[in-house]
Structure 1
Amino acid sequence: MITGAVKTLDGTPLPNVQVSNGLDVTGTDPDGRYALPDRPNQRFVFLTVPAGYVPADRFYIELQSQTSHDFTLTPHPPSATTDFAFVQITDLHLSTERRYLPADLAQDLAQIRREVGDQIHFIVASGDLTAGGKREEYEAYLQTLAGWSCYHAAGNHDDDADVQGQHYMDHLGPLYYSFDYGPVHFAVYDGEAHLRDGTEATPFAYVPTAQDTWLRADLAAQDPSRPVIIINHFPWGDEFYAQWRDFPVVATLSGHWHSTRRCADGDAIHYNTPSLGFGGIDQSPRAYRLCTWADGRLHSELCALVPQGLFPGISFRPDNTAGPVKHRAEDPTASLQLRWRTSTGGAIHKAPPLVADGRVFQAIKNEDQAAGNGLVALDAHDGTWQWTHATNDAIKNAPAHADGRLYTATVTGQIIALDAATGGRLWSRPLDYPTRRWVYSSPLIHAGRVYAGMSSHMVALDPLSGEEIWRRADLGPDDWLPSYPSPAARGDYLAVAFYTQPTSLAVLAAATGATVWRQRGDKPNYIYSTPVIGPHDTLYATSGGDLRAYHLTTGELLWQSPIALQRVQNRPALADGRLFVATGSGALCAFSAQDGAELWRWEVETRAPLFTPYARQGPTTLSAPTVASGRVYIAGADGYLYVLDAATGACIDQCDLGVPLAAQPTVDENRLWVGGSDGSIYALAIGN
C-alpha cells in the first residue's frame, strides 16, 4: 500500500483531498491521511490540488525516489475565488535550434502579460510544448516560463525523443492529472498514453487505456454540480467525448491541428486553438485563448498575436476580428475608391464574398461563441443590411449560389440551403459525426446537384430537397487537418481535392461518385488548392512544391512547374491563357497555362506574415488572386489591396484599408468587394 498524509505547513490535516496513484482515486480522511494500492509500473502518486491551496513543493511524489509520501499545501485565496481567468497556449514547438526559440516564447509571454496579465491567474499549455521532446527543450521551456503559474499537457511532439514520456515526466511530472480552481474541476489528459504500452494505432487517434479508468474515477469523485473542463492536446470527437457525458463537462481545450474551431456539443463546447508561436495550418494568425470563468460559465476570447505597431489603433481580439479602430487609411487611389464599409457582426478570415442577384453574401464566424456565426447578405450597391442567417458553428468558406438559392456548410458539417432573397432556411442536412467534422471547403452546385463535404464524407445532394444522391466515405479516414480545397466540375466530371489525405486529388463521375482516377496523398502530392478546370479538359492544381496540369478525364500529368507555396491554400486564377498563383513567400507568379513556363513574378515589399502557416517572420501573406479586365487584384495581410498588370506583373496601384486581409477579393464589372479581418465588407469602385 501507498500511505501518506496531506497537511498544511503548520501540520494541520486536510480532509477530503483527492489523491491518486494514476489508476485508483481516494480522498483523505479527517486526519488528512490516505491509502492507495501499490500498482505496478506507476511512477507517481499525485493529488488534485483543491481550490484555495497551492503545493508547498510539488503536487506529485516520485514513488521510487522519495520515501515520504506526504504532501504539504499552502493556503492560496485567489484560487478559491468564484470568478477567475486563465490563458490557454498550445503548440509552441519550443526548440533551442530553429523556428521557435526561447527568446520568441519570452517575447510572446511578455505580450500576453501586457495585454491580459492583470486579468489572468494561470496558464494552460495544451501540448506540443517542445519541438521534439528533448531534455534541453524542456529545460528551456521551464526556464522561460519561470514566474508563471502553468499547468502542462503532453502533445505528440513532446515524446518524439522518448515515446515513454520519460523526458516529460522528469521535468513536469505526471502525464495526466487534475486540479481544482474556483468552482471548476480541470482534468488533464494524456492523448498518447496507448503508445507508452506499445499499442499500435492510427496516428493521433483516440485509443482507450487504463488512463480512462483513472479519469472516470476522478470525475466520479467530484460533486455532481462541479463543472469540468478537460484539457487534451488532441481535438477528438465523439469517440472520446461520448463516454464523459454522464459528467458535467462544460468545455474541452485542445490544440494539435494549429487551427481554430469552436464546436457546440450539447452542454459542452470544444475549443481548438492555433499555435502560439507561428501561423496556423488553417492560416489562422498565431494566438492565445483568454478564458474567463464568470456567471457560472466559461467565456472565451481568441487573441491574435500581432506585432505591436503593425496596425496602430487596432486590437486583434477576439478571433481574427479587429477591435475599435482609431485610424484607418481610406484615401482614394487612382484605380480604387472606397464606396462603403459595413460590419457583418462576425469575423472574416479566408471566406471571399459572393456577389449575386444584387447582393453580397458573406460567410462569418466566431471562434468564441455562437453569436457571429452564419451568413450575411448586404446590398451590393450601398452595403445596407438585407438579412442574417445564424448558425451554431462557424462557416469557414464562401457559399454557392444557383437559381435564387444559397448552399453553405458549417465547420461541423451542417449542409444548409437558403432562400437568397430572404435568408430563410429551405433545408439542412448534417454530415455524420459533427464533433469529428472539420469542413473548410465550399459547396459546389453543378448539373442539378450540390456537392459538399470532406474526404471521409463527400456527398451529392438534391438541391431542392437535400436528399442524398450518393456518398463517398473512402477517400480518407477522417477530416485530418483543415482542408480549404473545394470541389470543381465540368460536364460529367467532378474534381475533389483534400489536403493531407490518403487521396489528395480525384476525379469522380459527377452523377454517381464513381472514381475515374485518383492521386495518392503522400507529402509530395499534397493538394493545397481548389482545382481549376480550364480549356481542353485541363485540370490545374497546386501540389506539393509544384503547380501541376493534368488531363481531366485520364489523370495524365501534362506538366509541372516548381513553386514555393509555403503551405498556403490559395486557389490559382486562370485568365487569358495564364495561371496566377499566390505563394506563402510573398510572391504572385504568372505561368503559361499551356506549358507551365513562368512568365513573371511580383514580390510584395512588406513583412506581415500573419496568415502564413508555420511562419513567424517573413513576407506578407497574400490572398488568392482575382483577375478581371487585364488586371490582377490581390489582398495582403499588411492591409493593402494590390492591383497588377496581368500581362507584365507591374504593380499599377495599391490601396491601404488599414486592416489585415486574408480573403480573396471579388470583382464584378467596375466594383470590388473584400472582407477585412475587422469583420467588415469593403466595397471599392474600380477606376481607370
Structure 2
Amino acid sequence: MKRLSVILILFLLYLPLSAQFKGTVYIDTDQSDIFNKGDKPLAGVMVTDGLNVAKTDKKGRFSLPGFEKTRFITITTPAGYETQHFYLPVTENRKSYDFLLTESERTKSKEHSFVQITDTEVTSGMGRWVTDLQQYIKNEKPAFLIHTGDICYEAGLTMHNRVVNAQTMDCPVYYCIGNHDLVKGKYGEELYESLYGPTWYSFDVGNIHYVVTPIDHGDNPTDYTLKDVYNWLKNDLALMKEGQALILFNHDLFTASDTFVFKADNEHMLDLRAFNTKAQIYGHMHYNYVRNQNGIYTICTGTLDKGGIDHTPSSFRAIKVDANNNISTELRYAFIEPQIAIVSPMDNQTAASSAAASTGENQLPVSVNTYHSQAKTSHVSYVLSDAENNQEIAKGNLTSLTDWNWNGNIQIPTNENRKRLHLTVTSFFNDGKKATATSQFTYQKDFKLSSIPGEGWNTLLQNAAHSGGVNDSQIKLPLQLQWTTNTGSNIFMTSPIIAEQKVFIATTDDNVSLNTFIYAFDFNSGKLLWHRAANRKSTSTKRTIGQSGRYIHPARHRTGDYLWHRRPRSVRTGQIHTFQ
C-alpha cells in the first residue's frame, strides 16, 4: 500500500509536467473572430511548444509538455484555413491556449501563388513600394505574403508590422528573422518575438508544407541554437502528411550543399531531400539569384525598396505552385506606373512588311513594351488605320512574349502600300487601368535598309573611356530602325558587342526558367546566328561576355562553340566568355 501511494504521488507530480500547455483549435463558423458555442473543433492540426509537436484530437484538443525555452504555443495553419493569430504567447495566468480558424479558398488549392519580399531595412519610414505591393496583392490575390528578414533594427521592427500585416495587405503575412533583426536586449530576438512572435514555425497551403527557420548569426547573440531548431524541425517534419512537398524559408541560405542536409552538429543532421523539398527561399544577399540544385531550387531575392547590389531594379518575387508541386517565379518590378511604348513600327519612320510563312501575305511586325507594378497585363489590343481618312484597316490583340513585351503581325492589304498609317495600342491591366500609345509611320512593302559598317562596338559604351561617343561623318539623321528582336529575358546587365558583322548580347534571368543565353545576331538583318546557354547572369566587357560564376569559356564567334573550360584563381567576379 505504501509503495502504491508513492507511485501515485509520483504520477500526480509528473502529470502537470506532461500536459503543461493545453488548448483547442476551433473553426470560426460565423467568422466573428470571437469564440462562441457554434464554433466547431478541428482535428489533425499540428501544434507546437517550440520543441514538441502534437496533433489535435477529434475534439480539437491538444496538450504539450513545453521545454525550458517555450515562449509561444504555435499552430501549423492547415491548408484551407486562415487565422489572425497562429501563435499565442505563454503567460503565467493563461489556462487554455485556444485558436480560431476560418475557412479559406485561397490557401486550399494545390495551385496557388505567394509573394516574397526581403531586406526592406526600414529605418526612417516606408515608401511607395508599400502601395505597389498592397495593390498587387489586391489585384492578383496570392495565398500569402512572406518577408524573409532584415526588417531592420529597433526602428524598423517597431514600424514594419504596423504597415505590412494581414489587415493592411488583406492576406496572411509571415515574417522571418534576419541578422539585423537581432538587436540589444536580454537576447537578440527578444524585441522581434514581442512584435512578430516565434522565430521558427510552419504552415500549410495546398499540398505544400512551408517551414520558417531563423538565421543562425546576427548583430547580437541569440537565445536559440541550431540544435534547438533541429530538434523542433525533426518533430515538425515527422508529422508532414503523406505526399506533401516542402518549401523552406530563412533569411540566409538554409543549406549551401546540394545534398540539402540541415546540420546542427555532427550528431544532429536532417536529410531534407527525404521530405520532398522543392525550394529554399531567402534574402540577405541583396541580389536576385536562382539555381537548380538537382531538383531543388535555391531562390534569393533582392530588395524591394532600393534594388540589388547586382544593379537589378527594385522588385519583389511572385512564386507560383502548380498542382504537381512544381514552382515557377516572376520578379515584379516596383515604382512603375501603367505604361506602354511602341518598339516598332517607330513613330515618323518607314516600316516594311514581312511575308507570312503560310500564305505569303504581307504582314506588319508590331512589338510593344508594357508594364504596371500593381497588376499584371491581361491583354494588349491594337487598331491600325489610315492616317489621312481614319478608316480602320485592322484590329486585334497582340501575344505576350515576356512579362514586358507583346508582339504580333498585322495583315496589310496591298492597296495600303506607301501610305501613312496610324497605329494605336492599348494595354489592359488586371486592376482595370489602361495605357495607350500611338505611332504614325509610312508603310512601304518593299522598303530595304542598307547599313553602314562603322567601328566595332567592343565594350561598354564603345570605348575604354566608356564615353559612348561616335564620330562618323557617314551617319545621317534621322536614324532609321533597322531591326528589332526579343531574346525572351532581360538584357539590362549587358552592353551589346558589335564585331565581325555580328551583334552579341547576353541575357539575365532571375527566375526558375533560367532563360540565360549568349546570343549572336546578324548585324544587317537581325537573324539569330546562334545562342549558347550560360549560367544565370551575364555582363559584357571588351569582346567578351562575362558570366557570374568563376569560369572562363572562350568561344568561336562564328558558331558560339566553347573552346575550353577553366577556373583560374584570378577570376573572382564571374565567368568570362570570349569569342574568336
How far apart are the structure 2 equivalents of 1:387 and 1:188? 43
Deviation of 1:283 after TM superposition, in Å, equals 1.2
1:324 partnered with 2:391:
no
Find the partner of 1:109 among 107, 121, 133.
Answer: 133
1:8 partnered with 2:27:
yes
Distance 1:235 1:339, change over 3 A: farther
Judge conservation of contact 2:337–2:372 (CA < 8 Å) in 1: no
Judge conservation of contact 2:517–2:532 (CA < 8 Å) in 1: yes
1:441 partnered with 2:523:
no
Structure-to-structure mapping, 1:249-398, within 5 angstroms? 249-296=277-324, 297-308=326-337, 312=341, 314-315=370-371, 322-324=404-406, 326=425, 327=437, 334=477, 337-391=480-534, 393-398=535-540
Deviation of 1:110 after TM superposition, in Å, equals 4.2
Find the partner of 1:179 among 203, 206, 228.
Answer: 203
Find the partner of 1:423 among 560, 563, 568.
Answer: 560
Deviation of 1:46 after TM superposition, in Å, equals 0.8
Structure 2 residue matching 1:361: 3-state secondary structure: strand
How far apart are the structure 1 equivalents of 2:82 and 2:215? 26
Aligned position for 2:451: none
Structure-to-structure mapping, 1:506-517, within 5 angstroms? none
Structure 2 residue matching 1:107: 3-state secondary structure: helix
Deviation of 1:136 after TM superposition, in Å, equals 3.5
1:52 partnered with 2:86:
no
Distance 1:428 1:218, change over 3 A: farther
1:266-303 deviation per Cα after TM superposition (whole angstroms, max 9, x unaligned): 11111211211122211111111111222421121111
Distance 1:287 1:12, change over 3 A: same
Aligned position for 2:89: 62
Judge conservation of contact 1:93–1:132 (CA < 8 Å) in 2: no
Deviation of 1:43 after TM superposition, in Å, equals 0.6
Judge conservation of contact 1:15–1:27 (CA < 8 Å) in 2: yes
Structure 2 residue matching 1:186: 3-state secondary structure: strand
Structure 1 residue matching 2:274: 3-state secondary structure: coil
1:112-168 deviation per Cα after TM superposition (whole angstroms, max 9, x unaligned): 247xx2342321121123454555424533578353421111222223455522222
Deviation of 1:29 after TM superposition, in Å, equals 3.0
How far apart are the structure 1 equivalents of 2:283 and 2:176? 10
Bigger Cα Rg? 2
Letter in 1 for 2:521: L
TM-score between the two structures when normalised by the length of structure 1: 0.55
Judge conservation of contact 1:84–1:294 (CA < 8 Å) in 2: yes
Distance 1:190 1:223, change over 3 A: same
Structure 2 residue matching 1:308: 3-state secondary structure: coil
Letter in 2 for 1:18: M
Structure 1 residue matching 2:574: 3-state secondary structure: coil
Deviation of 1:333 after TM superposition, in Å, equals 8.2
Structure 2 residue matching 1:85: 3-state secondary structure: strand
How far apart are the structure 2 equivalents of 1:271 and 1:348? 20
Letter in 2 for 1:315: Y
Letter in 1 for 2:59: D
Aligned position for 1:215: 233
Letter in 1 for 2:81: Y
Deviation of 1:412 after TM superposition, in Å, equals 4.8
1:88-124 deviation per Cα after TM superposition (whole angstroms, max 9, x unaligned): 12222223x2xxx23534423344247xx23423211
1:350-393 deviation per Cα after TM superposition (whole angstroms, max 9, x unaligned): 222233333222211211133521211111333211011124x3
Structure 1 residue matching 2:555: 3-state secondary structure: strand
Structure 2 residue matching 1:78: 3-state secondary structure: coil
Letter in 2 for 1:419: R
Distance 1:104 1:82, change over 3 A: same
Find the partner of 1:226 among 244, 249, 260.
Answer: 244
The alignment-based identity, stated in percent, is 25
1:2-42 deviation per Cα after TM superposition (whole angstroms, max 9, x unaligned): 33332334453322211111122222233333332320022
Aligned position for 1:584: none
Could you list the structure 1 runs, at least 4 aligned residues long, displaced by more than 6 angstroms after superposition.
Answer: 193-196, 316-321, 328-333
Distance 1:194 1:27, change over 3 A: farther
Aligned position for 1:478: none
How far apart are the structure 1 equivalents of 2:338 and 2:105? 38
Judge conservation of contact 2:122–2:155 (CA < 8 Å) in 1: no
Letter in 2 for 1:212: Y
Aligned position for 1:124: 146
How far apart are the structure 1 equivalents of 2:204 and 2:292? 24
Judge conservation of contact 2:82–2:172 (CA < 8 Å) in 1: no
Letter in 2 for 1:232: N
Deviation of 1:180 after TM superposition, in Å, equals 0.2
Find the partner of 1:137 among 140, 159, 166.
Answer: 159
Unaligned runs of 5+ in 2: 1-17, 29-37, 263-271, 342-368, 377-400, 408-424, 426-436, 442-474
How far apart are the structure 2 equivalents of 1:31 and 1:183? 24
How far apart are the structure 1 equivalents of 2:557 and 2:44? 59
Structure 1 residue matching 2:321: 3-state secondary structure: strand
Distance 1:190 1:439, change over 3 A: farther
How far apart are the structure 1 equivalents of 2:26 and 2:223? 39
Judge conservation of contact 1:330–1:338 (CA < 8 Å) in 2: no
Judge conservation of contact 1:408–1:417 (CA < 8 Å) in 2: no
Aligned position for 1:188: 212
Judge conservation of contact 1:176–1:189 (CA < 8 Å) in 2: yes
Structure 1 residue matching 2:405: 3-state secondary structure: coil
Judge conservation of contact 1:6–1:13 (CA < 8 Å) in 2: yes
How far apart are the structure 2 equivalents of 1:370 and 1:146? 28
Letter in 2 for 1:323: N
How far apart are the structure 1 equivalents of 2:219 and 2:57? 36
How far apart are the structure 1 equivalents of 2:64 and 2:252? 30
Letter in 2 for 1:322: W
Letter in 1 for 2:336: P
Distance 1:31 1:113, change over 3 A: closer
Unaligned runs of 5+ in 1: 201-206, 433-437, 451-462, 464-688
Aligned position for 2:261: 242
Deviation of 1:430 after TM superposition, in Å, equals 7.3
Aligned position for 2:57: 29
How far apart are the structure 2 equivalents of 1:156 and 1:228? 24
Distance 1:172 1:418, change over 3 A: same
Find the partner of 1:158 among 172, 181, 189.
Answer: 181
TM-score between the two structures when normalised by the length of structure 2: 0.64
How far apart are the structure 2 equivalents of 1:193 and 1:23? 20
1:84 partnered with 2:112:
yes
Judge conservation of contact 2:119–2:151 (CA < 8 Å) in 1: yes
Distance 1:255 1:329, change over 3 A: farther
How far apart are the structure 1 equivalents of 2:228 and 2:218? 9
Distance 1:235 1:145, change over 3 A: farther
Structure 1 residue matching 2:54: 3-state secondary structure: strand
Structure 1 residue matching 2:285: 3-state secondary structure: coil
How far apart are the structure 2 equivalents of 1:372 and 1:134? 36
Letter in 2 for 1:302: L
